[in-house]
Amino acid sequence: MIKKLKYRLANIINSRRVRTGGMALCLSFTIIAATLLGCPIHTEEIFAGEKFYTLNKMFPKNGITVSAMEREEDKTYPVYVTCGEETVTVDFTEGTVADALSKAGFTPDEDDFVEPSLDTVINDTIYIDYTDVEYVNGFYNETVAYDRETVYDADKEKGYTELSQKGVNGEAQVYYTEKLVNGVSADKTVTETKVLTAPKNEIKVVGTKEAPTKAVKTSADVKCISTLSVPFDIELDENGNPINYKSKRTARATAYTYTGNNCATGVAPQPGYIAVNPKVIPYGTKMYIKSADGSVVYGYAVAADTGGFIRNHPTGVDLFMSTKSACTNFGVRTMEIYILE
């Protein structure tokens, strides 16, 4: 009997002769009637016409009463939420992308990126791309390296060095803001640096004063062409150069010997008296003359004569020699002239 009722009810539903509202009303009356008559109610669910229906059967003493009500089954959609390398799948019925993210355990804020937008309504399977952006503030300590400083001291001789202050590193605290994208560092910006301990520079003192040249010999120790008596010791360095002098010049030098006449200053000529341009080297100037390589040393000399050579070589000198052959051997040379006084 029950099977026949189910079959007939399904036919009625499929033929659309029963409407949902009527079913609900029928169910209501059935329940009320069952309550008043004290009859038992038996409820079953059947599927017909692609819908679910609730079948209520009442058994009064005089027969069987049947009612049916349509019941809509909730429809769900799979929602895939991807955050970085992680994908979370949830079954979703109704709502927006924001609701789906909440169900999946994500709480987006204003820094995050969501595609599609949070207010998108979900009515089918959907893929949500969620990018979690977080800004983290922090700090770390770092070493501040000291600099090396050199101080030049004119009172200290060349070659003198002294470490007057040892270098010491300092320390600073660096504050930063770090951007994390899906938990991975994407950018770090330094916002402030506080020096906790200032570094101390290394200071080295270097001397610049020229060390005095030590004399290793005097003009008396050197074989010279000049035969003049030296009124004072001329101290020479290891290269045979005078240590103390007023100025130095390089000049073209020639040689001459006796002409039978005294020098322009009236003194008798002898090796050591030389001819000059008195406008360049005044008479009476005391000198020490030698070749640059030291192979020829004329020695102590005094400006005492002049000659026609100054017309062609106004800055040159003419050295008196004791013999003509000595003049020939000397020829023309470039000599170093140290002005003593």
**Residue pair 162/142 in contact by the 8 Å Cβ criterion:** no
Averaged confidence pLDDT in the chain: 82
Stretch among 54-68, 77-91, 126-140 having the lowest mean pLDDT: 54-68
What pLDDT is attached to residue 55? Answer: 55
Catalogue all structural domains in the chain, each as residue range(s) with its CATH number. Answer: 2-71 (no CATH), 77-131 (3.10.20.90), 136-209 (2.20.230.10), 217-339 (2.40.40.10)
Q: By percentage, how much of the chain surpasses pLDDT 90? A: 60
Distance set, CA 107 to CA 97, 101, 273, 338 (Å): 11, 7, 110, 95
What is the phi/psi pair of residue 64, to 5°?
-115, 135
Over 70: is that where the pLDDT of 18 sits?
no
What pLDDT is attached to residue 332? Answer: 94
31: CB partners within 8 A, 6+ apart: 41, 56
What pLDDT is attached to residue 30? Answer: 43
258: CB partners within 8 A, 6+ apart: 269
CA-based nearest residue to 335, from 318, 323, 320, 322 = 318
Paired tokens of 267? 């003194």
Under the banding of pLDDT at 50, 70 and 90, the label for residue 153 is: very high
Separation CA 316–CA 291 (nearest Å): 14
**Residue pair 53/68 in contact by the 8 Å Cβ criterion:** yes
Over 60: is that where the pLDDT of 62 sits?
no
Mean pLDDT of 17-36: 42
Tens digits of residue pLDDT in 158-203: 889 999 999 999 999 999 999 999 999 999 999 999 999 999 999 9
CA-based nearest residue to 230, from 180, 170, 297, 168 = 297
Q: How close are the terminal C-alpha atoms of the chain, in Å?
A: 154
Tens digits of residue pLDDT in 273-301: 999 999 999 999 999 999 999 899 999 99
What pLDDT is attached to residue 39? Answer: 52
How does 182-205 read in b/e, with b if 16+ C-beta sit within 10 Å?
beeeeeeeeeeeeeeeebeebbbb
State the virtual CA torsion across 278, 284, 288, 292 in degrees, nearest 10: 0
State the virtual CA torsion across 150, 154, 158, 161 in degrees, nearest 10: -40
What is the DSSP-derived secondary structure letter of residue 146?
P
What is the phi/psi pair of residue 322, to 5°?
-75, -25
Find the helix or strand (DSSP H, E) in which 100 lies.
Answer: helix 97-103
Paired tokens of 22? 């009527």
What pLDDT is attached to residue 139? Answer: 95
Residue with tokens 């924001």: 98
Under the banding of pLDDT at 50, 70 and 90, the label for residue 82 is: very high
What is the DSSP-derived secondary structure letter of residue 210?
P
Computed over its alpha carbons, how large is the radius of gyration of the chain? 60
**Residue pair 192/138 in contact by the 8 Å Cβ criterion:** no
Under the banding of pLDDT at 50, 70 and 90, the label for residue 28 is: very low
What pLDDT is attached to residue 45? Answer: 55
What is the DSSP-derived secondary structure letter of residue 69?
E
Question: pTM of the predicted model, to two decimals?
Answer: 0.41
| Higher per-residue pLDDT: 254 or 45 | 254
